Amino acid sequence: MDPSVELDSTKPHPARGYLFIAAATFFWGLSAAMGRAVFTGKLFTGAQALRPIDPVILAQSRTTISVLLLVPLLLLARRPLRVRAAHLAQFFLLGILGLAASNFFYYYAIEKTTVATAIILQYVAPVWVLFYMVARRLQQPTMRRIGGVLLAVIGCGLAVGGIAAQHNFPWLAISGPRFNTLGIAAAEMAAVSFAFYNVYGQHLLQVYNRWTVLFYSLLGAAVFWLVVNPPWKIVAQPYSGGQWLFLVAFAVTSMLVPFSVYFTALQHLDPTRAIVIACLEPVWAILLTALILGEWVSPLQITGIVVVLLATILVQRPDSKDRGAPPIVVEPIE
């Protein structure tokens, strides 16, 4: 490894990892409430409601604005951003296949199906992470891990109202499905992308400090969006000053702050624990939407929140098979 590359020397501390992810999911939940407010015309600047913003512009602007805000912050903090030229492709891979792809497929799934269906299928991501970690023999398929992952997925489904109770076996069913093959496939691709940036993000953090990983992955995602949706198409949008102000605030709350602390958390936790704790996002989204927009929370959603919290507690506890085992080490990048 190049000696000029600065690594974080922080010793892994699981409790800090849980707190960092809880903070990241809080901001993601807040941004979900903000997004819903602007889509439904419930977000106001003064006495005037903001007109809805195209979801693609919302996804693209939060990445691009985050990069533009991050550059002066890193320069002021004198954070080194030196990387090997050969590694730039790997950072862009994380940004495109991880950050940009998860956003794109998630919004596409919402367009073709429903918000509930998209969230439920996206939060199958812990299953994919567990499969990967077990297949690579980086973790044992313990009952505690499997139970925590399954509880997290079920809890998310209940929390977003996508799973409803029924009188006959198996007593739970997908509520109000709007089946669309492309939409279902997109939601599952969002889950795979979400799983990918958890695993590959930690992989890169073995070599570079979190600010370098964050900057170049965001840069990769921003470049991807500029190719998909060129700048002149964005400039042509007749957005008001209030809408642009919202886009800046949305970039900070949905991308810059949460991903900063999330990548920090990946230095303290293995990908399976990290992605299960990330299932707190829909919990925060529901609670904040109820608080900010006054939307009613059903008893079944409250049950889902409790189930997600139980899953986070379950995966935090060390399993007997892990005690005394060496910590997970991801192979360094050559």
Residue 99 lies in a domain: yes
What does the block give as tokens for 75?
């320069």
**What residues contact residue 174 under an 8 Å CB cut-off, 6+ apart?**
117, 120, 157, 162, 163, 164
SS3 332: coil
Q: Tell me the longest C-alpha to C-alpha distance in the chain.
A: 64
How many independent structural domains does the chain possess? 1
β-strand partners of 281 = none
pLDDT of residue 135: 80
β-strand partners of 174 = 163
Residue 329 lies in a domain: no
282 contacts 31 by C-beta, under 8 angstroms: no
pLDDT of residue 332: 41
93 contacts 217 by C-beta, under 8 angstroms: no
Q: Which helix H or strand E contains 90, and what residues bound it?
A: helix 85-93
Residue 56's alpha-carbon distances to 52, 62, 317, in angstroms, are 12, 10, 39
pLDDT by 10s per residue, the chain, length 334? 444 455 555 566 788 888 999 899 899 888 777 766 665 555 554 445 667 677 778 788 889 999 999 999 888 888 778 888 888 899 999 999 998 888 788 777 766 766 666 677 777 777 788 778 878 777 777 787 778 778 777 777 776 665 555 556 555 555 555 556 787 788 888 888 988 988 888 888 888 888 899 999 999 999 999 988 887 887 777 878 878 888 888 899 888 999 999 888 888 888 878 888 887 877 787 777 777 766 666 777 677 778 777 777 776 665 555 443 334 444 444 4
Distance CA 42, CA 60 (A): 22
11: how many CB neighbours lie within 10 A of its CB?
A: 8
Residue 3 lies in a domain: no
Residue 171 lies in a domain: yes
The position carrying tokens 């209940």 is 158
- CA-closest candidate to residue 252, choices 106, 34, 21, 95: 34
Distance CA 37, CA 57 (A): 16
Distance CA 18, CA 7 (A): 21
pLDDT of residue 319: 56
Contacts by 241-248, CB closer than 8 A, 24 or more apart: 242/45, 242/46, 242/48, 242/50, 243/50, 243/51, 243/53, 245/45, 246/34, 246/38, 246/43, 246/45, 246/50, 246/53, 247/53, 247/57, 247/58, 247/61, 247/62, 247/65, 248/65, 248/69
Q: What is the 3-state secondary structure (H, E, C) of 170-224?
A: CCEEECCCCCCHHHHHHHHHHHHHHHHHHHHHHHHHCCCCHHHHHHHHHHHHHHH
> What's the pTM value of the predicted model, to 2 decimals?
0.74
Domain with 96, as residue range(s), is 14-43+52-316
User: Per-residue pLDDT tens for 26-51?
Assistant: 998 887 777 666 655 555 544 456 67
Residue 4 lies in a domain: no
149: how many CB neighbours lie within 10 A of its CB?
A: 25
User: Per-residue pLDDT tens for 90-125?
Assistant: 999 999 999 888 878 877 776 676 666 667 777 777
Residue 294 lies in a domain: yes
- CA-closest candidate to residue 100, choices 64, 128, 126, 52: 64
Residue 95 lies in a domain: yes
What does the block give as tokens for 28?
């993601």
Distance CA 236, CA 255 (A): 24
Residue 327 lies in a domain: no
- CA-closest candidate to residue 23, choices 233, 259, 331: 259
